[in-house]
Amino acid sequence: MGTAAGRSVKRKEAWDKATGNAKYTDDLPSLGHLTARLLTSPHAHAKIKNINKVAAFGVKGVKAVITGLDITALCGVLLQDRPHLAKDVVRYAGEPVAIVVAADEPAAISAAGLIEVEYEPLAHVLTPRAALKPGAPLLHDNPERYKRMVEDIYPQPKSNIASQYRIRKGHADTGFALSHMIVEENFYLPPSDHLAMEVRAARAEISADGMVTITTASQSPYSVIKQLSQSFSVPEGNIRVKVPFVGGGFGGKAPVLLEHLAYIASSKVGGRPVRLVITREQDMAAAPCRMGLEASVKLGCDDTGRLKAAELRFWLDCGAYADIGPYMAKSLASNCTGPYRVDNLYCDSLCVYTNHTYATSYRGFSHAEFTFCIERTMDELAKRLNIDPLKFRLINAVSPGDSSPTQVSLNPSNLGDLKACLKKLKPLSGWNGAVVPVDEHTVRAKGVSCLWKSADLPANAISGAMITFNPDGSLNLNTGVVEMGSGSKTQLAQILADKLDVDINQIHVKMSVDTRVNPEHHKTVASMTGYMAGNAVLRAAEDILAQLKTTGAEALGCSSDDIIVKGGAVYSLRNPLNKIRLKDIASGYKAPDGSSIGEPALGRGGFMLKGLSTLDPKTGKGQTAPAWTVGAQAVEVEYDTIEHTYRIISASTVIDVGMVMNPEAMRQIIRGGMAMGISMASREAYSYDQNGLLTTPTLRTYKLMHIGQEPDYRVEFVETPQEGSPYGIRSMSEHGIIGIPAALANALSNASGFSLNTLPLTPESLWKKSGGVSS
Amino acid sequence: MILNEGRVIVELMVNHESRTVTVRPSDVLLDVLRGQLGLTGAKPGCKNGDCGVCTVIFDGWPVKSCLVLAVEAVGHQILTVEGLGGVAPVQKAFVDSGAFQCGYCTSGFLMVCHALSLNKPRAEEYEIEEWLQSNLCRCTSYKEIREALKTVFQSLS
């Protein structure tokens, strides 16, 4: 073992990014490409009566105008409910209706504007609970007849339910009967956007022999292969997917959308290379966004503050198509109580169609959203019991020996140490539960929240790693992981450097992904790169070590058991002074007598998730994930009781990461998550007008946090190793966001005295809560 | 057949070099830098002047190249991230402070920070905020970008 693990190591690609040298999808040369543009729906729900392409074809340079009538296939990763281009009906404003392919961008833009589409508007529905009422407009006539791509998805006939999951554990009725105090709260969280700074982009070309090449800003290059093959009957081996640097994903680039459309565009122009460019407005309205959520949370506890029962109902707004929404509803159900022991549990989690832009995975995979609901209710319960909210959480913190909502037995390996996190959070955040007056109409207050998350991945998700040597003895690390900002490829390099005991600068990382070259990595999602690809890299490192030892033993005339690989050299522990440098042995060894010994060392390692199961449809019992990461967060606000404006003073996180592999990089990732949570909770929302049209599809109307609005960030770690994970590390990349919206709402609820159960927490929303009149 | 369709040949001074490009009157500087000169460090993010990922330096001042017509740049000095050459103090500072994650907004922030350090080497905190509020970053917490800029200012003083 070397020294590369546990040290602050700079990103491998740092200088590429600091010089403009890092290439993203649309930075690649496009000479010889046709340009494709989308026409999208201006209605939330409407019949398509007619499409007239004549005027569009009048634009010079137009090669093709493609509509839903040209494509029969449906797509969808879980449920095949989505047409590639709307056919007969549009189900959300922004839905792709046509593609224009033209010689250049101006021609494509002009022609798209000249396609005449005749619509007949239909009644629309914008919230999940409204979509479940009798007589609500149905988005899909027979959702249960769509092809299911997985076994555990349950679309309901004659309804807007794309899927549903239930958790039944213990006896909720008995638990509430034993409760001394019961509170019930209702919640509404609107959809919002990932808002990666790089707008999604994709290119496609099809060679004369049927080979398809897709270049895309995707978190899921290997899913692109599978889904494209499924939709268009192209053999998987004929599809090659290339992913350069990705300019932020946050889950939004996990689904397959533009790749399909670029393929369709290329296929209609004889396979010529096509570059599909969308606008920021289309990236927000047409491409999938973050889920909305409605919820009703009822918690009961005894007079010592111990939770006795929970009755939880969640209605996840997945928009017009299911995408990964059903699995977000499942993931939500699996962890629905938050990190608390609740022995008597009743939870229904429904994934509901509405005429919103469809939703997809977003940092936290539904956890930031349900955590908001649970943690707000925990605070209301603590308030009524007159118990300190942090102490209340300590009393109920989930511990080894408890079981998860899906009845997985929790132990010190598969569960982090929440109590240790809470204990550290107290001094870190300066928590004392007080609301402190600053002046006549300004107060300071804090709010806390716990978080937990497990990674829901398919039971057979895989990852792989390959290692080769350069002539100078440095190594190349090759995985299928996408570099989109989390720095995980640098972490993988640390693992390799440590295992081979070489300097981290001797590890070169292949940053871009090419599915012809890189071994499959399921998807770069769920904060699972360290666990999955990390294990693959460990195995590849062990593989290459074994080869070096075999060659070394022959070269040095000793047993391979005696061979040490350390500090860039191979030697026998019996004669440490006789060192062979890696560069002299990695490609086979040339002995002093000129004879050839051994072979070039090539490392390979594979990893597959094991032991996971689906949930029992009646009780929700099942092993959903290998482990749970836990943490505790706090936010401090300064609140103006007259203006209802506020400043966020500090935001703190203590998270059990298993082992601190790269301290600085990990703090940066956690801080980034907290920033995203603050931005989301304080100002971000998709607003819709009465016609169901998105009124905030630009960065001028959809505000993100700017510099100068950020708080003092504080991050500390707890280290409880996870068995079977490289170096004991736990998933942590998404987690900084999870408890922040709740902690902010708890802080503002404490400061204002209002019970704040909706997002975003704008001064206007607080003013309305106050009765909407100036005092 | 010879067509001009309103296109003109213009000379731009980019990164201290004279470059000849053919542009339409409506072409924005961003598209010409990227499409004709291969200078892809400046990115499209919103094409609406809201996000700053396309920022370049125009006669010493940061501008959003999606809001500048290519023909407006004639006779002016344009500096892109490629023109910083890897030796501008802000570049090392960004690397050392981890002032980026995905890297997509980085060129734009670098150009704002570089211009600020040249124009106002003694900028106050409020000036730093005012300048940097032109740009958006979705990955970092902004703390890292501030720290990077702080080290640049310390080296100047």
Tokens of B68: 């500048």
- Tell me, yes or no, whether A559 and A588 share the same domain: yes
Residue A671 lies in a domain: yes
Answer yes or no: do B48 and A13 touch at CB < 8 A.
Answer: no
Answer yes or no: do A15 and B40 touch at CB < 8 A.
Answer: no
- Could you report the per-residue pLDDT of A285-319, keeping only the tens digit for each? 999 999 999 999 999 999 999 999 999 999 999 99
* Contact call for residues B12 and B28 (beta carbons, < 8 A): no
First CA to last CA distance, chain B: 61
Write the residue in A27, A486, A706 that is nearest to B101 by C-beta: A486
Please tell me the distance from the alpha carbon of residue A486 to that of residue B139, in angstroms, as a whole number: 9
- Tell me, yes or no, whether A574 and A603 share the same domain: yes
Please tell me the distance from the alpha carbon of residue A226 to that of residue A218, in angstroms, as a whole number: 14
Residue B92 lies in a domain: yes
CATH (domain of B136) = 1.10.150.120
Q: B7 CB near a chain A CB, below 8 Å?
A: no
Contacts of B48 in chain A (CB under 8 A): 280, 698-700
Secondary structure class of A86 (helix, strand, coil): coil
CATH (domain of A52) = 3.90.1170.50
Give percent of chain A above pLDDT 90.
97
Considering just the CA atoms, what is the radius of gyration of chain A in Å?
27
- Tell me, yes or no, whether A740 and A690 share the same domain: yes
CATH (domain of B66) = 3.10.20.30
- Tell me, yes or no, whether A444 and A471 share the same domain: no
- Could you report the per-residue pLDDT of A120-150, keeping only the tens digit for each? 999 999 999 999 999 999 999 999 999 999 9
Domain boundary among A574, A608, A642: A608
- Could you report the per-residue pLDDT of A62-105, keeping only the tens digit for each? 999 999 999 989 999 999 999 999 999 999 999 999 999 999 99
Question: Do strands A563-566 and A513-514 pair parallel, antiparallel, or not at all (unpaired)?
Answer: unpaired
Question: What is the pTM for the complete model shown?
Answer: 0.98
- Tell me, yes or no, whether B64 and B109 share the same domain: no
- Tell me, yes or no, whether B94 and B55 share the same domain: no
Say yes or no to pLDDT of B54 above 70. Answer: yes
- Tell me, yes or no, whether A602 and A651 share the same domain: no
Residue A310 lies in a domain: no
Q: B46 CB near a chain A CB, below 8 Å?
A: yes
- Tell me, yes or no, whether B41 and B93 share the same domain: no
User: Which of A221, A298, A754 has its CA nearest to residue A515?
Assistant: A221
Residue A355 lies in a domain: no
**pLDDT confidence band for A773 (50 / 70 / 90):** low
* Contact call for residues A771 and A694 (beta carbons, < 8 A): no
CATH (domain of A542) = 3.30.365.10
Say yes or no to pLDDT of B5 above 80. Answer: no
Residue B105 lies in a domain: yes
- Tell me, yes or no, whether A394 and A538 share the same domain: no
Question: Do strands A575-581 and A587-590 pair parallel, antiparallel, or not at all (unpaired)?
Answer: unpaired
- Could you report the per-residue pLDDT of B103-123, keeping only the tens digit for each? 999 999 999 999 999 999 999
- Could you report the per-residue pLDDT of A456-478, keeping only the tens digit for each? 888 899 999 999 999 999 999 99
The answer for B31, left when phi > 0, alpha when psi is -120 to 50, beta otherwise, is: alpha
Domain boundary among B30, B56, B82: B82
**pLDDT confidence band for A2 (50 / 70 / 90):** confident
Q: What is the pLDDT of residue B1?
A: 75
- Tell me, yes or no, whether A741 and A649 share the same domain: yes
- DSSP for B31-52 reads HHHHHTT--TTS--S-SSSSS-
- Could you report the per-residue pLDDT of A697-748, keeping only the tens digit for each? 999 999 999 999 999 999 999 999 999 999 999 999 999 999 999 999 999 9
* Contact call for residues A198 and A306 (beta carbons, < 8 A): no
Mean pLDDT of chain A: 97
- Tell me, yes or no, whether A418 and A381 share the same domain: yes
**What's the one-letter identity of residue A74?**
L
- Could you report the per-residue pLDDT of B14-42, keeping only the tens digit for each? 999 999 999 999 999 999 999 999 999 99
Residue A496 lies in a domain: yes
- Tell me, yes or no, whether B77 and B125 share the same domain: no
Domain boundary among B30, B48, B82: B82
* Contact call for residues A313 and A295 (beta carbons, < 8 A): yes
Q: A18 CB near a chain B CB, below 8 Å?
A: yes
**What's the one-letter identity of residue A379?**
D
Range of the domain at B53: 8-82
Tokens of B86: 């890897």
- Tell me, yes or no, whether B78 and B105 share the same domain: no
Residue B45 lies in a domain: yes
- Tell me, yes or no, whether B41 and B59 share the same domain: yes
Which alpha helices (DSSP H) does A640-662 contain, by range?
A: none
Total number of domains in chain B: 2
Q: What is the pLDDT of residue A775?
A: 46
Which alpha helices (DSSP H) does A515-599 contain, by range?
A: 529-556, 582-585
- Tell me, yes or no, whether A488 and A600 share the same domain: yes
- Could you report the per-residue pLDDT of A431-462, keeping only the tens digit for each? 998 999 999 999 999 999 999 999 888 889 99
- Tell me, yes or no, whether A109 and A217 share the same domain: yes
Please tell me the distance from the alpha carbon of residue B123 to that of residue A584, in angstroms, as a whole number: 54
Residue A290 lies in a domain: no
Q: Chain B interface, mutation test: which of A35, A104, A197, A671, most B Cβ atoms within 10 Å?
A: A197
Contacts of A664 in chain B (CB under 8 A): 98
Please tell me the distance from the alpha carbon of residue A579 to that of residue A569, in angstroms, as a whole number: 6
Residue B3 lies in a domain: no
- Could you report the per-residue pLDDT of A580-639, keeping only the tens digit for each? 999 999 999 999 999 999 999 999 999 999 999 999 999 999 998 999 999 999 999 999
User: Which of A488, A464, A495 has its CA nearest to residue A478?
Assistant: A464
Residue B75 lies in a domain: yes
Domain boundary among B82, B106, B134: B82
Please tell me the distance from the alpha carbon of residue A218 to that of residue A203, in angstroms, as a whole number: 12
Q: Chain B interface, mutation test: which of A10, A19, A709, most B Cβ atoms within 10 Å?
A: A19
Q: Which chain A residue has the Cα nearest residue B136?
A: A706
Q: A22 CB near a chain B CB, below 8 Å?
A: yes
Say yes or no to pLDDT of A774 above 90. Answer: no
Say yes or no to pLDDT of A1 above 60. Answer: yes
* Contact call for residues A298 and A220 (beta carbons, < 8 A): no
Residue A437 lies in a domain: yes
- Could you report the per-residue pLDDT of A573-591, keeping only the tens digit for each? 999 999 999 999 999 999 9
Coarse DSSP helix, strand, coil percentages of chain A, rounded to the nearest 5 percent: 30, 30, 45
Answer yes or no: do B103 and A664 touch at CB < 8 A.
Answer: no
- Tell me, yes or no, whether B54 and B43 share the same domain: yes
- Tell me, yes or no, whether A480 and A545 share the same domain: yes
Say yes or no to pLDDT of B2 above 90. Answer: no
Please tell me the distance from the alpha carbon of residue A310 to that of residue A299, in angstroms, as a whole number: 5
Q: Rounded to 5 degrees, what are φ and ψ at A668?
A: -60, -40
Which alpha helices (DSSP H) does chain B contain, by range?
A: 29-35, 89-97, 106-119, 125-132, 143-156
Residue B146 lies in a domain: yes
- Tell me, yes or no, whether A102 and A205 share the same domain: yes
Residue B1 lies in a domain: no
Total number of domains in chain A: 3
Residue B2 lies in a domain: no
The answer for A679, left when phi > 0, alpha when psi is -120 to 50, beta otherwise, is: alpha
Range of the domain at A566: 14-21+461-608
Helix (H) or strand (E) holding A675: helix A663-683
- Tell me, yes or no, whether B67 and B111 share the same domain: no
Q: What is the pLDDT of residue A30?
A: 95
